[in-house]
Amino acid sequence: MANRVAVLGSLNVDTTYQVVRFPEPGETISAQQRSSAPGGKGANQAVAAARSGAKTYFIGAVGNDDEGKLMRQCLEDERIYTAHLTTDMNHGTGTALITLNSEGQNDIMVYGGANQAMTDAVLNGTDQVFEDIDFMIAQFETPQAVTLEAFKRAKAHGVMTILNPAPASEILPELLQYVDVIIPNETESEVLTGIKLTDQASMDQIADTFQRQGVKTVMITLGERGVYCAKGDDRQIIEPFLVKAVDPTAAGDTFIGSMTSQLNPDLSNLAEAITYAQRASSLTVQKYGAMPSIPMGFEVEEALNK
């Protein structure tokens, strides 16, 4: 049976400018190309889960605008359940401006809009969702207070919770008590713990820090170095699939969503799910855009079997 996943998170319409190099302060440069696509960490993770076969619910908010209609339709086109995607009459739909250079590196500026204005009201009437799901995912592009309430409800229903603390900001201390799995990247790990990530010993220190606060499983996505995983005392780095990246946007989101689609609720197949997710991410970075670059499950399986 397919995994059942709920994502509490952000939806953004992304506009990407492709440039040879990033501008210096005060400098004006020409963009080689401009494109727009649906995105947002929450939406990307939900789409990644759905495309890899998970029954997926989305909990979030959009504005009463064309961008909001676009984002709602995009999720519905992916067969994601949107009954709990609310319309905020006072704030616009989230947007992101992405600058992508010729080396495949990006800078991102985000307008939170309805994402950041979200309150616990988005959770009204979600009891049936929590009764149905195996996993709940959240990020930091929506208010932590709402995530805390959602994770409390998830744990009350025996649901496994996954936190992607991105973009990094100080974590509500109580929130970590309700987190089963935390997945930061290298930069976020350093910001959240104050420990500079240099080698596996420093990764172990970061994992210890989170585990002392109640999080049993810690993953750190390391880009071309793979994924560090600490499940209790079991510590390992799982090697990546090396490819030529053209756009890293949504790589981390693809990893989280696709991994959750494959993961057993008791985490008994964690290494296998991570390998699947890394293969999915390796496909994402070879295409431009956020949501359009996320692979289908059959594409991931074909790539794994090569």
Active site residue ranges: 253
Determine the residue type at 70. Answer: L
Structure tokens at 258: 């696709």
- What 3-state class would DSSP assign to 113? coil
- Terminal C-alpha separation, the chain: 26
- Give yes or no for a cis peptide into 167 (omega within 30° of 0): yes
- Would the annotation count 63 as a binding residue? no
- Would the annotation count 86 as a binding residue? no
Neighbours of 26 (CB within 10 A): 5
Query: Do the Cβ atoms of 76 and 63 come closer than 8 Å?
Result: no
Each residue of 70-86: b (16+ CB within 10 Å) or e? bbbebbeebebbbebbb
- Would the annotation count 87 as a binding residue? no
- Would the annotation count 61 as a binding residue? no
Structure tokens at 275: 């390998």
- Would the annotation count 306 as a binding residue? no
- Would the annotation count 41 as a binding residue? yes
- Would the annotation count 42 as a binding residue? yes
- Would the annotation count 12 as a binding residue? yes
Query: Do the Cβ atoms of 140 and 166 come closer than 8 Å?
Result: yes
Comparing C-alpha atoms, which of 147, 180, 153 is closest to residue 166? 147
Q: How far apart are CA 235 and CA 110, in angstroms?
A: 34
- Would the annotation count 297 as a binding residue? no
DSSP state for residue 56 in the 8-state scheme: E
- Would the annotation count 253 as a binding residue? yes
- Would the annotation count 247 as a binding residue? yes
Residue partners of 190: CB distance under 8 A and separation at least 6? 196, 197
- Would the annotation count 170 as a binding residue? no
- Would the annotation count 223 as a binding residue? yes
In Å, what is the CA distance from 15 to each residue of 40, 46, 61, 96, 111?
11, 20, 19, 6, 12
- Would the annotation count 287 as a binding residue? yes
Binding-site sequence positions for K(+): 247, 249, 284, 287, 289, 293
Binding-site sequence positions: 12-14, 40-44, 141, 185, 221-226, 247, 249, 252-253, 284, 287, 289, 293
Binding-site sequence positions for ATP: 185, 221-226, 252-253
